[in-house]
Amino acid sequence: MPIKSVIGTETEFGITSKKVEGDDPVSSSLFVINHLRPFSSIRVLWDYENEDPLVDARGFTVEGEKERPTQDQNLSLNKPLENGGRLYVDGAHPEYSTPECTNPRDVVIYEKAGERLMHLCLENANRVRKEDKKFFIYKNNTDGKGNSYGYHENYLMLRSTQFDKIVQSLVPFLVTRQSFTGSGKVGTDNKADSATYQISQRADFFETLIDLNTMAKRPIVNTRDEPHADPRQFRRLHVIVGDANMSEFSTYLKVGTTALILQMIDNNHYLTGLELENPLQAIKAISRDITLKKTVRLANGKEYTPIEIQKAYLEQSHKYFDRIEGEPFVYEVMRYWEETLEKLEKDPSELSTKIDWLIKYELINTYREKKGYGWDNPKLAMMDLQYHDLNPDKGLYYTLVKDGYVDNFVSEGMVLVARDSPPRDTRAFFRGTCIKKFPKEVYATSWTSVLFDIGNFTIKRVPLLHPLKGTEVLVGDVLMRSETAEDLLRNLAA
């Protein structure tokens, strides 16, 4: 049987200001995340000891320098959060990682909590900026100038699962799932073939099938082998091919369907016969076909639409999960997946209140037709960007939600709770609760450990190598009856 799902996402946010010239995005990003109050007063380091992004899943390590900032740099770059997640600066962008979650609905909730935290940073930062230097932050994937920034998904898998089997089974799924996960885009980027409107923001930026890179020559399948868990038992599949979604439903289907496919692969239920003749060409062609009716060629010479390929994956999911007792979310995901594919095949406009690329298309195309604009009008590109604005008073997505034109999938109350509290059913519970309860004693933290400074120059590490340990059920009582970090360490050892 496959292991229980453990899922998380990382979102790099676009950042700019009114006075763009002379703006340093690294300094801007640092300035913004260091205005996360009241948490910014907490001085907790990020522990880089078990991180090595240079290890390749194909069995080798590439040359390069690991990130090892000084202590002052570390404190400035990283904000470990009370919800078990992490806010930090990666390259030239503010980035938010959700805590580990066991189901796609929780991923949506914690990803939305990250939007609220980023907006809190933005508000606080802008209060001390002059009007012409105020920041804007966007949850999108391209700056419109040929540059893309990432949105990454992470799925816990068994180390014993062969990587080449993952690639073979997963590529056709990843290439075609943009039909319901794309966030929509006016125009093109990266010197790609022209288009008026695309399904995906990221499709233009993939240039190779398999590789370790995430910023240059981006691959459809990323080979980073950094498990953030016991490497003898687990691997972490690092998926970089997806768009950052504003739509809660798109995010839910994106991580939910992918988790199902990976569970099947982990249990040796491989999906063959759907291999694409040219995945790199197909991912761009599908992005440009908003009818979803054009076919792509498979390696065996057959041709299928992206919806037909997705339906083949759905059929295999039913065959697999109908004969075992899957996790509760599995059957809900399959129901929504099936309903969505039926509507995409029949009439995609039926999903114009649920799926990002269709919500955005309906908004922009209605405005375009009303004004008589061509798709090359710069105002449409500006609307595209404004759709992703994290300011709820200005962002077009949030406006559509408030006006009832977009369907919510999770409650705002759950999002607000998740902003300050960790999931209860993963190791994030221990990490987040320790930061909240012992802020002065937590010296550093990472995905796999919490380090405590209990005085006398003594640092004690509590390992968290299994993502499903450190839960409320396992450690909640110990945490509740420990008044100090020293009490906690003594009680854990008892």
List pLDDT tens digits, range 68-87. 899 999 999 999 999 999 99
Q: Which residue has the higher pLDDT, 194 or 456?
A: 194
Task: Please state the rounded mean pLDDT for residues 435-446.
Answer: 95
H or E element at residue 50 = none
What does the pLDDT read at residue 147? 86
Pairing between β-strand 442-445 and β-strand 45-46 as defined by DSSP bridges: parallel
Provide the pLDDT confidence category of residue 492 given band limits of 50, 70 and 90. very high
List pLDDT tens digits, range 255-297. 999 999 999 999 999 888 999 999 999 999 999 999 999 999 9
What does the pLDDT read at residue 22? 61
What b-and-e string marks burial along 360-374, b requiring 16 or more CB atoms within 10 Å of the CB? bbbbbeeebeeeeee
Provide the pLDDT confidence category of residue 326 given band limits of 50, 70 and 90. confident
Q: Which residue has the higher pLDDT, 441 or 132?
A: 441
Q: Which residue has the higher pLDDT, 358 or 272?
A: 358
Where do the domains of the chain lie, and which CATH numbers do they carry?
7-414 (3.30.590), 424-493 (no CATH)
Q: List CB contacts of 325: < 8 A, sequence separation 6 or more.
A: none
List pLDDT tens digits, range 100-130. 999 999 999 999 999 999 999 999 999 999 8
What does the pLDDT read at residue 318? 96
Q: Are 396 and 363 in contact (CB under 8 A)?
A: yes
Provide the pLDDT confidence category of residue 222 given band limits of 50, 70 and 90. very high
Percent of the chain with pLDDT strictly greater than 70: 98
Q: Which residue has the higher pLDDT, 98 or 192?
A: 98
What does the pLDDT read at residue 191? 81
Provide the pLDDT confidence category of residue 336 given band limits of 50, 70 and 90. very high
Distance CA 308, CA 295 (A): 9
Between 55-64, 221-230, 363-372, the lowest mean confidence (pLDDT) is in 55-64
Cβ contacts of 432-439, under 8 Å, gap ≥ 24: 432/81, 432/82, 432/83, 432/84, 432/85, 432/99, 433/479, 434/479, 434/485, 434/488, 435/42, 435/44, 435/80, 435/81, 435/82, 436/82, 437/479, 438/484, 438/485, 438/488, 439/42, 439/44
- Token pair, residue 4, equals 């229980």
Q: Are 48 and 68 in contact (CB under 8 A)?
A: yes
What does the pLDDT read at residue 39? 58
* DSSP for 151-183, written as a single string: EEEEEEEETTS-HHHHHHHHHHHHHHTHHHH--
What does the pLDDT read at residue 65? 75
What are the two backbone dihedrals, phi and then psi, of residue 399, each rounded to the nearest 5 degrees?
A: -65, -45
What does the pLDDT read at residue 21? 66
What does the pLDDT read at residue 248? 98
Task: Please state the rounded mean pLDDT for residues 174-182.
Answer: 98
40 pLDDT higher than 70 = no
Catalytic residue among 23, 52, 56, 90: 90
Distance CA 339, CA 466 (A): 35
Look at residues 319, 399, 400, 324 and name the one whose alpha carbon lies nearest to residue 358.
400
23 pLDDT higher than 90 = no
What does the pLDDT read at residue 2? 65
Q: Are 110 and 99 in contact (CB under 8 A)?
A: yes
What does the pLDDT read at residue 154? 98
What does the pLDDT read at residue 200? 98
250 pLDDT higher than 90 = yes
What does the pLDDT read at residue 56? 81
Q: Is 389 a catalytic site residue?
A: no
204 pLDDT higher than 60 = yes
Distance CA 81, CA 422 (A): 9
What is the distance of C-alpha 321 from the center of its chain?
25
* DSSP for 88-122, written as a single string: EEETTEEEEEPPPBSSHHHHHHHHHHHHHHHHHHH
- Token pair, residue 359, equals 């919500």
- Compute the chain's Rg from CA coordinates: 22
Look at residues 236, 237, 221, 239 and name the one whose alpha carbon lies nearest to residue 279.
221
